[in-house]
Every structure is written in C-alpha cells, then in structure tokens.
Amino acid sequence: MNKIVNEMPAGTVVTPSRQLNHSGIGAPVRRREDPRLLTGKGRFADNITMTRQLRGYVLRSPVAHAKIKRIDVSPALDVPGLVAILTGEDYAADGWGDIPCVSIPPNITGGGYHATPFPPLATDRVLAVGTGVAFIVAETLAAAIDVAERIEVEYDELPVVPTLEAALADNAPLVWPQAKGNRCFTHELGDAAAADAAFERAEHVVRARIRNQRVAGNPMEPRTCIGAWDPGDMRWQLTSSTANPHRIRLILADQILGVPAHRVHVVAGDVGGGFGTKGGIYPEEILVLWAAQRTGRPVKWVSDRSEAFLSDFNGRDQIADAEFAFNKDGTVLGARIVVNHNLGCQLGPSTAHPPLVGTRMLSGVYAIPAMHVTVNGIFTNSRTLTTYRGAGRPEATLVVERMMDLAAEELGLAPDEIRRRNFIRPNQMPYTTCIGETYDCGEFEAIMDEALRLADWEDFAARRADSEARGRLRGRGLAVYIEVCATISERMEVRFDSAGGVTILAGTFSYGQGHETSFVQMAHEWLGVPIEKIRLLQGDTDKIATGRGSFGSRSMTVGGSALKQACESVIDKGTRLAAIMLEVDPAEIVFESGLYLWKAGDQRSVTIDEVAKASFAWKGVTTYASGALKSIPADLWSGLEGIGHFSANPQNYPNGCYIAEVEVEPETGQVHLVGVTAVDDVGNVVNPLLLEGQIMGAIAQAAGQALKEKVVHDETGQLLTGAYTDYAMPQAGDFPRFKLGLRSVPTATNPLGVKGGAEAGTVGLPPAIVSAVVDALRPYGVRDLKMPLTPMSVWEAMNPEGEEE
Amino acid sequence: MQLTGSQDIEAPRERVWDGLLDPRFLKAAIPGCESFTLDDDGAYSAVVLASLGPVRARFRGRLWQEDLHPPARCTLRFEGEGGIAGFAKGSAQVVLEDIDGDTARTRLSYSADVAMGGRLAQIGSRLIDATAKRMAGQFFDKFEALLKDPSALAEGSGEAAAPAASGGQEAFGSDREPAAAVPGKAALVAAAPAVSPAGQFTLQMPGWAWAFTVAVLAAAAAWLGTH
C-alpha cells in the first residue's frame, strides 16, 4: 500500500471539532460514491433509455482532407428502420450555429487569430479522418449502420498535412487557405531585447527541440448522449456524459441555438472520467438534439471505443525549440523558446487553452532574469486538440526541466545542483517571473531535498551496481515542477430541508474526483451535520442555477471556498434564528460543532438541526426560555439556506519534486519503471485518500505518456492507433510501489489554503522519466530522447546505426 | 503497407496467365464476387460480398491494368471501398516464372503496395498482412483447382465450381446464398479480347488484384466482426 508520508501536513485547517470528529477536513474518509459505482448501481448516460428512443450513427470521413463532391443517400432509403439521414446542408438550412472557440482571449498578441467554422457535420470539405458527413437516425443501431453502409460519398482528395511536422514544413499545403503557414495565432510573452542581451553575455548556451507527443484521453466511459425535444414546453433536453453540463448549456443556448438558456436543459448523471477531453461541446451532443427536434423522438448516440479514438479531441502535441543561456557556474541568464502547438483541423471550445496557459509556466521554479516566448497555434488535418490532464503545464515543465538537465550535463553539474543554483527562494515570494506569472508561495529547494531523501538519492550507486549485476542499465532523473490551478468563479449553494437534511447544490461537476465525499466532508465539518445527512447534487442545469464544472484542479479552491462561504451564510442566518429561539443577543451566540451556544451566558443551546426545522415552521417558533410563540423574519422563514461565491484571482501554484528510477534492458530497449518518488505541495489537504488517488492516477497517466502512449497518423492522415491493440496504455504491472510525500505550504490566496492536486503527477513526472532513461543510456552517448520511450525508440537510440551488438 | 508472397501452381505459365486474365476463372475463384462491369473509361468495377463470421460487408471497387508483359509480368492499380469499413487502394506487381526450369510448373510472385483508410487503417492494419496472405492462398488454391478442372466454370457459379474447397471456401461459401450469375455481364466480360500486346491496355479482368483487395477488405471485416 502506498502511503502519504505526512498525513496531516502543517497548516491544515484545524477547527475545534477536528479532534472529536474523524470525518471532517483532513480525514481519510473513503469515497462515498464507490459502493454505488462499484456495484453497478451508478447511472451513466447509456443506462438511460427513453420512451420511443431512436439511435443515431455518425457516418465519418475515411479520408483526411477532401472536398465532398457528392453525398448520395438514395441507395440507403429502403433500409427497414431508417428514420432520417441528416447532412451538413440540412443543418445549415435549419440555422443552427457552429461550435465556438472560447479559449482565445480577445487581447491575444499578434493581431487576433484565424477562426474556423465548425459545424457538427461537414458541408463542403472534410478536414480530418473521422469528420462527420451524415447523421443517421434509425429504430436500431444495426439499421443505422446498414444505412451508413449504403450511403455513397464521393470525395475529391486534397493534399494532407497530418502532423505538426508536416504543417510546419516549407511550402506545406494549407488546412485553411487564409491561415498562412498553417498558423492560427501567434502570442508572445517576455522581452525579446532583454533575452537577446542575456544570450550575448552567456558563457554557455543549451539548445534542444523538445517534442511532446499527441495522446488520447481514454476516459473509461466513452462519450454518450441522448437528445430530446419537448414540443409542449419548446425545450431541448440533453443527457450527456459531459464533464461540464453548465458550460454546454451556455454554448447551446448562446452560440448554437440563440435562445434563452431556460429552454435548454442539460443533465449529466454519473460520468466515467474525462481528463479534460469531455469538458467542451462535441458535435454529437448537438446532433442528437437537432435530430430529436427533427424526428420528434429522443435520439441516443453512443461512441464505441475505436470511435472514441477517432472522434474524441486529443491532448498535448507540441514542438518547443528552446535555447537557454547560462553562466559557467550554471546560473541561468535567459531563455528564448518558440512553441508550435498543434490545434488540429478546427478550434473546439478549449483548443487554445493548453498552448496559451502552458507557456505562462515556461519559467518553471527558476529565477530566469530574461525570457522571450513565442507560441504559435498550428492547424493540421487531424482531429481537434483540447485540454488533457495538465493542459499545457506538462508541456512547459518538460521543456524547462529537460533544458535544466541538458545544461547540467553539458556544464558538468549534478541535476540537483543546477536547480539549487537557480531556484526562486522562499524569501523572494511573491515572485513575478519575467513572463508575468506571480507565484505567491513555494519552497522549492526544501521540497526537492525532501524528495531526494525519500528516494534515497544518495544510495543510487549501490542500486545501479545491483542492476548492472543483473545485466540491466539503471538511471535516475528528477524534475521540480510548478503549475497553475483554479480558474474563474464558482457558485455553491447549501440548503437545509425540513427534516434536517442538507443538500449541497454544486456548480462544480465531479466525474471521478470524489466530490460526494470531499465536499460533504467539508460541509460536515463546518455545519456539524452528520455526513449521512448531507447530499451532493450536481450536473442538472434545471436544479443548479449556474456553475463552471471541474477542470484545471479548480474544484477544491473555488468550489470549496464558495462552499465555505455558503456554509458561513447558513450559520449566520441560523444564528439570527437561534437568537430568537434562545432569547439572547445574536452577538453572544457561538456556533460550534453544529450547536448554537450562549457561551457568555448559561450555556443554553440549540442544534442547527432544530434551527433548520424552525425555519420551516408553519406558525413561528417556540422560544427556549419563555415558551412563547414568536414570529420569524421573512428571510429566515422559508428554509435555512445559503449561497457562496468565490473567484480565484489570483490563482494558486502547486509545485513539487518527482524522481524516477528506471532499469533498461540493453538487449531490447525495454524500460522498467522501478522507482517513483513524489513530494507535492498542494497546500492544505481535505482528504488524503482522495489526494493519494489523484496523485497515483496522475503518475500512471504521466508514465503512460512518457513510456507508451502516442496517437499516430500516417502520411495520408489516417489514424493508425484506433484501438488498444495499437495504442498502448499503462497497466498496473508497469508500476513499482510509489513513495509519496507532502510538504505543504498553504496559500493565502483562498480561505482554505488549498492548491490544486489533481494534475500534479502528469506535470512533474514525464521529464523525470525521460531524464532517468537518458541517465541509464549515458554509456551509449545518448543526449536526449523523445517520448514515448518505447523499447524500439530506446533500442534505436542505443544502436544509432541499427547494427546488432 | 506491403503485401508480398508467392504461389506455386501446377500449370505452365501461359495457362496461368490466360487463367488470370479470364474473368470466368476469377469470378469463380474470388470469394463472394457478385458482379463485374466494364465502365465507360475502360476500367472495371466489381462488387464483392465478403461474409466472415458475424460481419457481412459489400465492397465496391475499380481497377486498371498497366504494363502487361505476357506471360511474364504485369502491374495493376486498384481501389476498393467498403463503406464504413473504410477503403483500400494501391498497386500490385505480379511475376510468373518457371519453377527450376520446369515449364510445366509456374511460380507466381506478387508484391502489392496497399494504402488503407478509415476503420481499416484504424483498427485493422496490423492484422491485415497475415490474414490477407492466408486468403490469397485460398484464392490461388481454388484458382489452381479450376485450372485443372475448368468444367466447373461452365456452371457459371463460383460456389458450384469449387472442387477443392479449402478453408477459405468454408469461410465464405457455407453460410450464405450462392452468388447468382449475371448472364449479361458475364457475356460482356467473356467477349473481351483474350490477350493483348505487351504494354497495351486490355479489357481483361486481372483477378489477383481482386484477391488482394478483397483479402484486405475481408480480413478487416472479419477482424471488425470479432472486436
């Protein structure tokens, strides 16, 4: 069993109830949602079957770039069970809107960006393999597929730029003719003149091209949605496996339909993961609504696994050309970095988020005096890219940390030593990097030292000798990361009912994060109500006024802080009511562990449960001392409830140190991950079990990217990794026992002192693994390696001529 | 993707060559072949029903011949379209040689470049090679049997003309209706010139291309059906 070393880190929010109460903040409460989810009692979108429901099927383009010459549906019209064949022309004729991009700020440098039309079905041109060209609605899925088989689509093929490399080549064909060089936008950060001056002074310059490969999101539950149309109420209802129901409602109402949002009802029940890829809107979520209105019957669409590989938006995919200027002693003087980030063929809602946010973090944990960063968003004939766990920060961290290790190697310094010489010090906090990010706190050297100790860094030589005795190469690598978490605002509502039950109406949305446990723990702590009497309600836009969903490790910071405010609002209202009930001055009432107590007086008290019941009283409340029936102010007489808001401005900066140790089989190039040590600063911890799960999951995902995963297209843009036979996923057997530690520095930027903890591993671990394998291959003169470090790529690096040894 | 292989046939080269250009032989030997039609532009279109396990898909395709050197070698280009299963296109070079100087025996070697798209590329490409080879073998087994006993051709049905049913025969033939012969089209094909001068475009149906295309598509269909 892996163990969080410091279960109760310094600075954890401590309240008087803590000692008595083992389910509050900081307690390792087991996930309350698991019994339901693990025993088949969850309710996912595909568990729902609506009356008279039809099935939808998307006919997709088999070619990557082509004009659609002709779509002939006539051979399919006699298939039994066919209800409708809908095309992009029908969609345009009905006047529905395109999928918007909402991730490029209006003040982007370089004069705006190239917007892309993105209707859910192609009209004149397909831009990637898998582009939808027709939506078939039939009584059964089998009938819909039969119809799809018979539809004849004639394509006039166009030149293809399947990859970032192809799109950046001289005279590359253009995905969008107006986007010269296949460039959607260019954004610059930092000071070019200052950076150039640093390079003129430099005693040593390190240069490298860092490739961060494209990966697939692979949520456990493939995307599923059901559209329904109510002709009486004139409303659309979307049931979806989305990770962000309120965002989808907003896009549907504002951008797609142009109707008041109350005419759109989005519901998400249990959702089986998303990792950032389910947070925008997808074509199918629009198609099922459109088809439902057209046919007058509910329409369900379910992605199968290989369709998910083809149609889900992907993550990462970036080339960074970096040069870092140093003094001979290893002090970094400046950096110039050009980032080219693949956007795919069209801009989805979050497509530009990873390149634009990630590049903000390119200074890492180091005091780099001068930097200039250029980030280009690049179009390719491939599926749209989007946020994927870490979303830009893993890309940035790979660049900074690999550059530090390359510099250490070239300057003859140990990897920890070069970092010590460049860390931003705690006494420099708050520290604004030269590309404009202000870190509020962090103790980077101390966290690295803690990780080095936990990993037995000093005893590595003995372990290496042991590996060599067994015929294996051994290497170690470390990375110190910083990321940025928690965006925008959140709204949380807490409502008591007449029986003393509490409902949290969350604007966040948990699709694996465990909010039914963590938020309930927090409300339990603050309100003193037993956990069993608290329920989390989320994911229904008719029930939750508004919300922002869960992504970017934001929920504890913004959701938790808003929940705290909501609970405080409830407690304050309850104090006024308790004062009436207890017949004392509200200023003299203290709220403790669910009890309103006249501490200054005779210790008379009333529970929040009783206060809540009183707030629903039919005819006033009976007072404590006199027994009189007193009336209640109107605002307290319709149920005890409170609303909290919080906006994360500034954001917070989780950081930490990851150390990887690997063994490499020299005969085959197979890499074995034999040691993973992680020490994270995620601020205060609400539930160490959930945090441990997040960190372990992120480690597995990071190792997957570092060692195995890659989305591959051939030169014609065909997707070659369309199933798990060709797309390698990390498995339990790939991992050693993790050594996990926390060294928390609570942030003052939110009332809980929490920082994001859900993405840390994906940010910190990949460069540590790459550096560890490079370290192992040092006898072979290997300087750098590109992820994924598959046996073939490692073996080829060891055998550059390809000869047998 | 590259598909290469060879097949030894107990017949002289000229006879093999004629057989490979004889649409009756090919239609009989290609599993599930439903029709050949001659298009206005001189290319052939064909429809093949491939039925493997639970999956049955109808593939449409066209092909063109190039660089004919009878009875030694030729090249052909082909395109096959399997609806939502994807497509395959490419070219194949076929060489006929005597085996160890024995003019009564022929070694047919083929080398095909195949590009695939859609679901074929996404989930089938790595599995196509072995399956396509196996199916090409089945095609040639049947083809060789027809060379030995052409009388089966007279019946005009591929399924009926299967004296030496191989594994492939079971896979294709047993669970579906025999493909009905279409007299009009068969007559059209049979009326085409038998042999053309080297390098000239001809009207013959070069069936091994179909063997490759069909093998690729049908293997993919089989694979899709089991996954």
Choose the mutation target among A58, A306, A311 for the interface with B, i.e. most B CBs under 10 Å.
A306
Question: What is the token pair recorded at B4?
Answer: 């290469």
A670 — phi, psi (to 5°)? -65, 130
The CATH number that domain A487-647 falls under is 3.30.365.10
Burial of residue A366 (CB within 10 Å: 0-12, 13-18, 19+) is buried
Q: What is the pLDDT of residue A175?
A: 98
Q: CA quadruple A96, A98, A104, A106: dihedral positive or negative?
A: negative
Least Cα separation, residue A156 to chain B (angstroms): 14
Residue type at B118?
A: G
SS3 A667: coil
Q: List, for residues A680-716, the tens digit of each pLDDT value.
A: 999 999 999 999 999 999 999 999 999 999 999 999 9
How many angstroms separate the CA atoms of A770 and A317, rounded? 17
Which residue in chain A is spatially nearest to B125 when comparing CA positions?
A720
In order of A57, A139, A726, the CA distances from A81 in angstroms are 13, 5, 35
Average pLDDT score over chain B: 66
Which residue in chain B is spatially nearest to A715 when comparing CA positions?
B115
Q: How confident is the model at residue A107 (pLDDT cuts 50, 70, 90)?
A: confident
Question: What is the token pair recorded at A627?
Answer: 């027994």
CB-nearest partner of A722 from B58, B115, B123: B123
pLDDT average, residue stretch B130-141: 72
Average pLDDT score over chain A: 94
Helices (H), chain B: 13-20, 23-29, 119, 125-148, 167-173, 183-190, 207-226
Q: Degrees (nearest 5) of the Cα angle B209, B210, B211?
A: 90
| β-strands A132-138, A629-630 pairing | unpaired
A145, B84: Cβ pair inside 8 Å?
yes
pLDDT greater than 60 at residue A293: yes
Give me the DSSP letters along B177-188: PPPPP-HHHHHH
* Cβ-Cβ contacts under 8 Å, A310 against chain B: 122
Q: Which CATH class is domain A440-483+653-805?
A: alpha beta
**Domain A440-483+653-805 in the same topology as domain A45-158+218-311:** no
Domain that holds residue B135: 2-226
A722, B57: Cβ pair inside 8 Å?
no
End-to-end Cα separation, chain B, in angstroms = 22
Q: What is the pLDDT of residue B220?
A: 57
A306, B115: Cβ pair inside 8 Å?
no
In order of A2, A187, A189, A380, B180, the CA distances from A110 in angstroms are 48, 6, 11, 20, 66
B123, A63: Cβ pair inside 8 Å?
no
* Cβ-Cβ contacts under 8 Å, A148 against chain B: 83-84
How many angstroms separate the CA atoms of A73 and A147, rounded? 8
DSSP type of residue A87: E
SS3 B2: strand
Instruction: Please choose, from the candidates A759, A776, A782, the residue with its C-alpha nearest in 3D space to the C-alpha of residue A675.
Output: A776
Q: List, for residues B90-120, the tens digit of each pLDDT value.
A: 888 889 999 999 999 999 998 888 888 887 7
Q: List, for residues A247-257, the tens digit of each pLDDT value.
A: 999 999 999 99
* Second CATH level (architecture) for the domain A45-158+218-311: Alpha-Beta Complex (3.90)
Instruction: Please choose, from the candidates B67, B64, B87, B85, the residue with its C-alpha nearest in 3D space to the C-alpha of residue B75.
Output: B67
In order of A596, A640, A641, the CA distances from A611 in angstroms are 9, 8, 11
Residues above pLDDT 90, as percent of chain A: 92
CB-nearest partner of A716 from B58, B115, B123: B115
B119, A306: Cβ pair inside 8 Å?
yes
Which residue in chain B is spatially nearest to A57 when comparing CA positions?
B84
Q: List, for residues A131-160, the tens digit of each pLDDT value.
A: 999 999 999 999 999 999 899 999 999 999
Measured in whole angstroms, the distance separating CA A101 from the mean position of its chain's CA atoms is: 17
Q: How confident is the model at residue A393 (pLDDT cuts 50, 70, 90)?
A: very high
Which residue in chain B is spatially nearest to A308 when comparing CA positions?
B122
Q: Degrees (nearest 5) of the Cα angle A337, A339, A343?
A: 170
CB-nearest partner of B83 from A148, A718, A722: A148
Q: What is the pLDDT of residue A325?
A: 98
Model ipTM?
0.71
* Cβ-Cβ contacts under 8 Å, A716 against chain B: 115, 117
A503-507, B63-67, B144-148, B170-174: segment of lowest average pLDDT:
B170-174
A718, B121: Cβ pair inside 8 Å?
yes
Least Cα separation, residue B54 to chain A (angstroms): 12
- To which H or E segment does residue A444 belong? helix A444-454
Q: How confident is the model at residue B125 (pLDDT cuts 50, 70, 90)?
A: low
Which residue in chain B is spatially nearest to A151 when comparing CA positions?
B83
| β-strands B2-9, B102-117 pairing | antiparallel
B122, A719: Cβ pair inside 8 Å?
yes
Residues above pLDDT 70, as percent of chain A: 97
Which residue in chain A is spatially nearest to B83 when comparing CA positions?
A149
Q: What is the pLDDT of residue B158?
A: 39
Count up the domains in chain B and report the number: 1
The residue behind tokens 């990780």 is A451
Please list, in sequence order, all residues whose beta carbon lies within 8 angstroms of the beta carbon of residue A412, skipping any fewer than 6 positions away.
none
How many angstroms separate the CA atoms of A250 and B224, rounded? 38
CB atoms near residue B55 (< 10 Å): 16
Question: What is the token pair recorded at A454?
Answer: 């936990």
Q: List, for residues A423-465, the tens digit of each pLDDT value.
A: 999 999 999 999 999 999 999 999 999 999 999 999 999 999 9
Least Cα separation, residue A166 to chain B (angstroms): 19
Which residue in chain A is spatially nearest to B118 when comparing CA positions?
A62
Greater model confidence, B85 or A167: A167
Ranges of each domain in chain A: 45-158+218-311, 440-483+653-805, 487-647
Q: List, for residues B28-87, the tens digit of each pLDDT value.
A: 777 677 876 767 776 777 777 765 444 456 778 887 778 889 899 988 788 888 777 788
CATH number at residue B110: 3.30.530.20
Q: What is the pLDDT of residue B212?
A: 61
pLDDT greater than 50 at residue A189: yes
* Cβ-Cβ contacts under 8 Å, A714 against chain B: 121
Least Cα separation, residue B127 to chain A (angstroms): 10
CB-nearest partner of B122 from A59, A148, A309: A309
Greater model confidence, A9 or A216: A216
How many angstroms separate the CA atoms of A520 and A522, rounded? 5
Ramachandran region of residue A405, left (φ > 0), alpha (ψ -120 to 50) or beta? alpha
Interface size A-B, in CB pairs within 8 Å, comes to 54
